[in-house]
Amino acid sequence: MRWEPIGKPDEVRASANMPDYDRVRREFDWAEARSQLSGLPGSRGLNIAYEAVDRHAAGERAQVTALRCVDKQDHVTEISYAALREWTNRFANVLGGHGVGRGERVYTLLGRVPELYIAALGTLKAGCVLSPLFSAFGPQPIADRLRIGQGAVLVTTPRLYRNKIEQIRAGLPQLRHVLVVGDSDAGPGTIDLREALAHADTEFEIPPTSPEDWALLHFTSGTTGSPKGAVHVHDAVVAHHATARYALDLRPDDVFWCTADPGWVTGTSYGIIAPLTHGATVVSDEGEFDARRWYRVLAEQRVSVWYTAPTALRMLMRHSPELAAAYDLSGLRYVASVGEPLNPEVVVWGQEALGRPVHDNWWQTETGAIMISNFPAEEIRPGSMGRPVPGIEAGLLERGEDGRALVEHGTVRELTGDDVEGELALRPGWPSMFRGYLHDDDRYAVSFAGGWYLTGDIAARDADGYFWFVGRADDVIKSAGHLVGPFEVESALMEHPAVAEAGVIGKPDPVAGELVKAFVALRPGHTPSDELRSELLAFGRRRLGAVAPKELAFDDDLPHTRSGKVMRRLLRSRELGLAEGDLSTLEHAG
């Protein structure tokens, strides 16, 4: 069943940054979008941090609040664009003072504290590559990612250092400096960042930066193998800026709150860069999700544009509408969501509880910026991800037996016509497109075929060009908006002496979308028990942190393909009580 479209009032349509989607789409070109930015003075290139900070600090917006950080105790720190310029200069000088050179990787493992923004933007000023990590990761995923990216610097807190880094540091010889944010002494081999910043020079000249210089390294997961480091360049800022203008309707006088975790791509592209390039005020909240707290932040900070995620909205929806009504949300002008399928009920609930419908949009780590979106002046079709942003061509490709786009002799077949379903693909060439997977040219190469970038998602398109998410074409799991690679989880479980083999799937969950469930075959001499189940779950949590399985079942007859891989698809079908589908590749078949 499709829900009634939600139209927009005339005054909203008229005042939107993009009042006419079809016209802007027709006339759009990336060179014009690039001209909305300043470029480094003296034609010295394009640097994300200059566009986000320094150009405002040099102009009329110097004293406007760039960052308003609410801490766990509700204390608010405000930083103007002029002050942010100085803080980020100081950070760049701290890096230089410690001999950290251009192109080296600086990782952050931080919550939403002011130093997160200072470190991220200071890193980009220095010409280093920023790689943000999810602070709820356990030691193992952190170590793997630091190793793959050859992290030279890590910025973290004393608590995270003690709990997660100390135990892995000896195995990371390339990690030369750990900068810690906090009052207590984190111990030998660490540098107190606040003290270092206090003593650093406030002036720094951003070196010439080519738009193609590496800027960001975001880790993502595939079905197999180690995590993939997707590389983005400084030119990505052109897409961050343009998409925030069209898909988030962002303006300089907005107060913008992006709730994404700083460790995921959204936390950087839209939690830091895009709103600052517009000279807006970024609100951040260090606290964890809590319905009352979030409504309070929306109301007290007078948030006007809110970018959040389906899981959070579903958690808000569990409370009565009176809760939302108790807060003054009249400042809220625009609400958008990303990261996982947004059920139509949530879009409609937004209209009722927040007074604004929720605009779903779609993108992924590799695309660097929003690709498909519902727009401010266009009707929303609840349940649909919307239409491609100006400058983006999206298509659907015919799929083969393995569920992915059918590639024959390097060519693919685009599905035209109405109401078709296939693998979602994008025409390469937009500025924030990833430029590679670090040390993994093969995996990068197979992401493209027939002139398309293949997204790994299956989608449908209706007669009016709206895209509808159908599912993933592979086995990766989306839990509470976080992409989880089953292989990484299986590998961690198999390090337990009782585990012979593991198969990990996403099990549908009404709030988190999916939760991670593991099926485990035991080694001889071990027998299933509740104690062993608890032990394995705890083992997973200790190593993996938030991406560990929440459920675990013993299964001494895991299904395998003829090539010996655990058939996750079949585990999932069995879990859901679905037809088992085509089993021709199952080892016991035929």
Residues of the shown chain interacting with ligand AMP in the complex, contacts defined by CB under 6 A: 220, 265, 338-342, 360-362, 364-365, 385, 455-457, 469, 472, 478, 483
Minimum CB separation of residue 578 from ligand AMP in Å reads 20
The nearer residue to ligand AMP, 325 or 446, going by C-beta atoms, is 446
CA distances 479 to 311, 341, 360, 508, Å, are 9, 11, 17, 9
Q: Are 521 and 555 in contact (CB under 8 A)?
A: yes
> Which amino acid, 399?
R
Minimum CB separation of residue 341 from ligand AMP in Å reads 4
The nearer residue to ligand AMP, 108 or 364, going by C-beta atoms, is 364
Q: Are 318 and 311 in contact (CB under 8 A)?
A: no
The nearer residue to ligand AMP, 472 or 568, going by C-beta atoms, is 472
Please give the Cα distance from 262 to 117 (Å, whole number).
10
Which residues make Cβ contacts (< 8 Å) with residue 60, sequence separation at least 6? Answer: none
Minimum CB separation of residue 193 from ligand AMP in Å reads 28
The nearer residue to ligand AMP, 68 or 478, going by C-beta atoms, is 478
Instruction: Convert 159-184 to b/e letters by CB count within 10 Å (16 or more is b).
Output: ebbeebbbebbeebeebebbbbbbee
The nearer residue to ligand AMP, 404 or 526, going by C-beta atoms, is 404
Minimum CB separation of residue 238 from ligand AMP in Å reads 20
The nearer residue to ligand AMP, 375 or 539, going by C-beta atoms, is 375
The nearer residue to ligand AMP, 94 or 236, going by C-beta atoms, is 236
Q: Are 470 and 432 in contact (CB under 8 A)?
A: no
Q: Are 458 and 472 in contact (CB under 8 A)?
A: yes
Query: Looking up tokens 């589908």, which residue turns up?
Result: 581
Pairing between β-strand 305-308 and β-strand 255-258 as defined by DSSP bridges:
parallel
Minimum CB separation of residue 366 from ligand AMP in Å reads 7
Minimum CB separation of residue 224 from ligand AMP in Å reads 16
Pairing between β-strand 228-233 and β-strand 214-220 as defined by DSSP bridges:
antiparallel
Minimum CB separation of residue 266 from ligand AMP in Å reads 7
Please give the Cα distance from 138 to 543 (Å, whole number).
5
Q: Are 562 and 587 in contact (CB under 8 A)?
A: yes
Minimum CB separation of residue 309 from ligand AMP in Å reads 9
Minimum CB separation of residue 218 from ligand AMP in Å reads 8
Give 70-83 as a DSSP string.
E-TTS-EEEEEHHH
Please give the Cα distance from 86 to 121 (Å, whole number).
11
CA distances 422 to 62, 215, 403, 413, 466, Å, are 48, 33, 9, 10, 14
Query: Beta-carbon neighbour count of residue 588 at 10 Å?
Result: 9
Minimum CB separation of residue 184 from ligand AMP in Å reads 33
The nearer residue to ligand AMP, 265 or 571, going by C-beta atoms, is 265
Minimum CB separation of residue 512 from ligand AMP in Å reads 13
Tokens read off for 390: 């100006």
The nearer residue to ligand AMP, 122 or 386, going by C-beta atoms, is 386
Strands, E assignment, 462-546: 467-472, 477-479, 482-484, 499-509, 513-522
The nearer residue to ligand AMP, 485 or 503, going by C-beta atoms, is 485
Return the ∠ at Cα 77 (arms to 480 and 125), rounded to 5°. 80
The nearer residue to ligand AMP, 53 or 392, going by C-beta atoms, is 392
Minimum CB separation of residue 513 from ligand AMP in Å reads 9
Please give the Cα distance from 570 to 577 (Å, whole number).
10
Using a 10 angstrom Cβ sphere, with 0-12 exposed, 13-18 middle and 19 or more buried, the burial of residue 441 is exposed
Minimum CB separation of residue 516 from ligand AMP in Å reads 14
Minimum CB separation of residue 217 from ligand AMP in Å reads 14
The nearer residue to ligand AMP, 114 or 456, going by C-beta atoms, is 456
Which strand ranges, in their side-by-side order, compose the sheet holding 255-258?
76-80, 65-70, 281-285, 255-258, 305-308, 334-338, 358-362, 372-373, 387-388
Q: Are 352 and 434 in contact (CB under 8 A)?
A: no
Please give the Cα distance from 274 to 40 (Å, whole number).
17
The nearer residue to ligand AMP, 513 or 549, going by C-beta atoms, is 513
The nearer residue to ligand AMP, 304 or 361, going by C-beta atoms, is 361
Tokens read off for 585: 């590749």
Rounded to 10 deg, the angle between the 291-300 and 310-317 helix axes is: 110
The nearer residue to ligand AMP, 310 or 390, going by C-beta atoms, is 310
For residue 105, what are the β-bridge partners?
A: 129, 151
Minimum CB separation of residue 9 from ligand AMP in Å reads 24
